[in-house]
Amino acid sequence: MYRFNIWKIVLILGVLVFSILYLIPTPDSFYNPLYGNLPLWMQEKLPPFEVTEDNELKVNLAEVEYPEGISFQDTTRELEDVFRVHLGKLDFAHEVDYEFDTTEAREFYVRLISEKARQNPKATLDNLHLYGSLPILVRRLIPDTRLKLGLDLKGGVHLALEVDLEASKAALFKEHAHAIPDQLRTEDILCREVKQVDGQDALNVFVGIPSRLRADTTLKNEYLQKAQRILDEIAFFEDARQLSNETETQSVYQLRLTESGIQQYSEQAIEQVLIVLRNRVDAFGVSEPSIRREVNHPRIIVELPGAEDSSKPLQIVREMGRLEFKLVKESPTGGNFWSGSADTPPPDSIPEDTEIREHRETGNWYVLESPVLLTGDRITDAFPTTGRTSFDIVVSLSFDGPGRRKFAQVTGDHIGEHLAILLDGRVQSAPVIQDQIVGNAIIQGNFTYEEANYLSNILKAGAFPVGVQIAEERTVDPTLGQESINNGVLAALIGLGTVLIFMVIYYRLSGLVAIVALVFNMMIVLGALAGFGAALTLPGIAGLVLTIGMAVDANVLIFERIREELRTGKAVGAAITSGYQRAFLTILDANLTTFFTALVLYHFGTGPIKGFAITLGIGILASMFTAIVVTREIYGLTIGNREVEKLSI
């Protein structure tokens, strides 16, 4: 008599159910109500949205505990992205049916402005499925993605984005050289100049001492201490050090960039790239991209299955998306601004704190003032619209609160001057400021509607930080990918078929038990790959084929031990129990050795080697489970309480 273990049966059924759940496709109509459309951390930490008396959707973010690295601004942008996508699916258009707003009390609003949108806001909120109905624990266990084919199987483009440390340093110093004076000025501290120390990773900050404080030592010290406190709080730099060359009219502080500071800045840049890439993928609907950070390196690997060298998905990743507003320098020979045609050579020498930039389309050059007055970070929305005529397509930009105030200040202070709008370092347009602008800005150009829509999506998704560059790019031929799929699948089927035939012929009905375990093994491996978000690659198929052999090897060891026990005259139940016990240590030893090898390959390998190691490691664990637990319980279920005199093995 050989009895099965009810708890092991429950475990087997649980693994089977999860494997199936990880493999079957999930339509949005089924998935969204269960999982919700907001990111999981928002569903956990944000209070529920409510419908106000004015038929607006509102959530209060004042007391939200944000995850590390996520700010209030990041949260509102992500909320806008979610609402924009899913309200679009309900046939609501931004700026026509609804608009976004935030208040100083940190309340986020979706203001429904059209009659269609205001008819039934409660039903609209319900149809958005912001929060899922499944418990959080269950949602963490059941996946939101399915098994994807890797680049080598489907073809496409492989990109590696990395941070150039020297470029990041230069950008960091330039950014702070312009930001520190503004920061001190808001605290009533006079900053005369900020400049980098020659040959050093340091900034000297020249703080002016107002004449009213020079005679009063107490007030003067309080003033300088306040300045030092502000400088001490600047990220990435050591605490400010007061230099000895203080005079009656000014004091000089030095901020030194540390190694940990530049590493922290690089880490922040990489995280920003990840966010921007995912925003762009959501905005453009790029199919099955793989975006992952390379372990222990400031690099991001982007794989775009199905993309071609000139395709839009590749263009989406290549575009840096940096939008800047700068003033055009007045011409020294007279005239409103300093520029020239593409046929005219630019000047050999230009004043300090100026730079030459070319127009994106015409090649005309402009001499611009180097300080960046406003960047695309302040953009909350961008969309194509018509200009002065219905044939003129422009891109309209909306800014957040600080961005609107800054844009109004810039345009109010420089009426009559030309403001250059730059995208990725090239002038898009340089219109004259005719009046103070309180509200939206526009980017002009000879756009088609598709080009304007593309630019709008790039600007909404955000820009890559300075210092990020494409370090590697290669294309995989889709026909090669299809050939790889066919060959890999054929090899797996031949291997599986050969093993199945051998097991049935040699071990009879017990061979069928091994076959059931083998199929279960494959389901576990593929389900685990889907659950971890991994893609099935050609090396992964090789690992899968190797797993088939190892899984059968464990069953062969067990079956041979059972045969040996039966030859000694033991009863069937006792022979099965003894066979599993005797084979266990041998199976464990062989599989652990191979598993540790897979761990080493994963840790030190890259790309295809890691794909092979992941599949092999998962396959080893799955084969041990199916060989030792699943097959044993199948014997228990089939034999049960019956006295079996002969086993088909």
What is the tens place of the pLDDT at every residue in 267-306? 777 777 777 777 666 555 555 567 777 766 777 887 777 6
The rounded distance, in Å, linking the Cα atoms of 646 and 642 is: 12
Of the three residues 246, 262, 278, the one that is the final residue of a domain is 262
Are 492 and 635 part of one and the same domain? Answer: yes
pLDDT tens digit sequence for 551-574: 788 888 888 888 888 888 888 778
CATH number at residue 608: 1.20.1640.10
Coil/strand/helix, residue 281: helix
Q: Looking at residues 204-220, what average pLDDT do you find?
A: 88
The rounded distance, in Å, linking the Cα atoms of 634 and 630 is: 6
Are 451 and 501 part of one and the same domain? Answer: no
What is the predicted pLDDT for the residue at 85? 81
Are 324 and 461 part of one and the same domain? Answer: yes
The rounded distance, in Å, linking the Cα atoms of 35 and 106 is: 26
Token output for 101: 């707003």
**Least confident residue range of 18-27, 124-133, 494-503, 616-625:** 18-27
300 occurs within a structural domain: no
Q: Which residues contact 473 (CB under 8 A, 6 or more apart)?
A: 157, 158, 159, 160
Q: How far is CA 16 from the centre of its chain?
A: 31
Q: DSSP character for 129?
A: T
310 band by pLDDT with thresholds 50, 70 and 90: very low
pLDDT tens digit sequence for 486-522: 776 787 778 778 888 888 888 888 888 888 888 888 8
Q: Looking at residues 223-241, what average pLDDT do you find?
A: 88
% pLDDT > 70, the chain: 85
Are 343 and 254 part of one and the same domain? Answer: no
pLDDT of 368 higher than 90: yes
**Least confident residue range of 165-179, 460-474, 572-586:** 460-474
Q: Looking at residues 137-141, what average pLDDT do you find?
A: 68
Task: List Cα–Cα distances, 382 to 95, 376, 440, 551, 588, in angstroms.
Answer: 10, 10, 10, 55, 59
Is-contact 543 488, C-beta < 8 A? no
Instruction: Give 418's strand partners.
Output: 432
pLDDT of 395 higher than 50: yes
Q: List the domain range (segments joined by +) for residue 40.
A: 28-144
| pTM recorded for the entire structure | 0.51
366 occurs within a structural domain: yes
- Check residues 286 and 175 and name the one with the higher pLDDT: 175
Of the three residues 473, 503, 531, the one that is the final residue of a domain is 473
Rounded (10°) CA dihedral 66, 67, 70, 73: -20
Q: Residue 218 phi/psi, 5° resolution?
A: -65, -50
**Least confident residue range of 55-59, 345-349, 401-405, 449-453:** 449-453
pLDDT of 339 higher than 50: yes
Are 487 and 588 part of one and the same domain? Answer: yes
Place of tokens 């949108």: 117
589 occurs within a structural domain: yes
What is the predicted pLDDT for the residue at 389? 63
Q: Looking at residues 519-543, what average pLDDT do you find?
A: 78
Coil/strand/helix, residue 435: coil
What is the predicted pLDDT for the residue at 367? 92
Coil/strand/helix, residue 197: coil
Of the three residues 425, 441, 473, the one that is the final residue of a domain is 473
Please provide the DSSP assignment of 320-388 as one string: ---EEEEEBPPPTTSSS--EE-TTSPPPS---TTEEEEEBTTT--EEEEESS--EEGGGEEEEEEEE-S
Regarding beta strands 535-536 and 148-149, do their DSSP bridges make them parallel or antiparallel, or are they unpaired?
parallel
Q: How many CB atoms lie within 10 A of CB 63?
A: 8
Q: Looking at residues 213-234, what average pLDDT do you find?
A: 88
Counted domains in the chain? 4
Are 123 and 52 part of one and the same domain? Answer: yes
Burial class (CB in 10 A: 0-12, 13-18, 19+), 450: exposed
- What H or E segment, with its residue span, contains residue 409? helix 401-413
Are 193 and 59 part of one and the same domain? Answer: no
Are 628 and 483 part of one and the same domain? Answer: yes
The rounded distance, in Å, linking the Cα atoms of 480 and 181 is: 57
Are 437 and 525 part of one and the same domain? Answer: no
Amino acid at 266: S
List helix spans (H) across 24-71: 28-35, 40-45
Burial 163-182 (b: 16+ CB within 10 A, else e): bbeeebbebbbeebbeebbe
Token output for 455: 């630019």
The rounded distance, in Å, linking the Cα atoms of 552 and 12 is: 19
- Average pLDDT of the chain? 79
Category of 424 on φ-ψ map: left (φ > 0), alpha (ψ -120 to 50) or beta: left
- Check residues 110 and 607 and name the one with the higher pLDDT: 110
Are 396 and 484 part of one and the same domain? Answer: no
pLDDT of 229 higher than 60: yes
Q: Which residues contact 8 (CB under 8 A, 6 or more apart)?
A: 629, 632, 633
110 occurs within a structural domain: yes
Are 204 and 175 part of one and the same domain? Answer: yes
CATH number at residue 192: 3.30.1360
Q: What angle do CA 41, 133, 119 make, to 5 degrees?
A: 95
440 occurs within a structural domain: yes
604 occurs within a structural domain: yes
What is the predicted pLDDT for the residue at 602? 79
Are 81 and 135 part of one and the same domain? Answer: yes
486 occurs within a structural domain: yes
CATH number at residue 428: 3.30.1360.200
358 occurs within a structural domain: yes
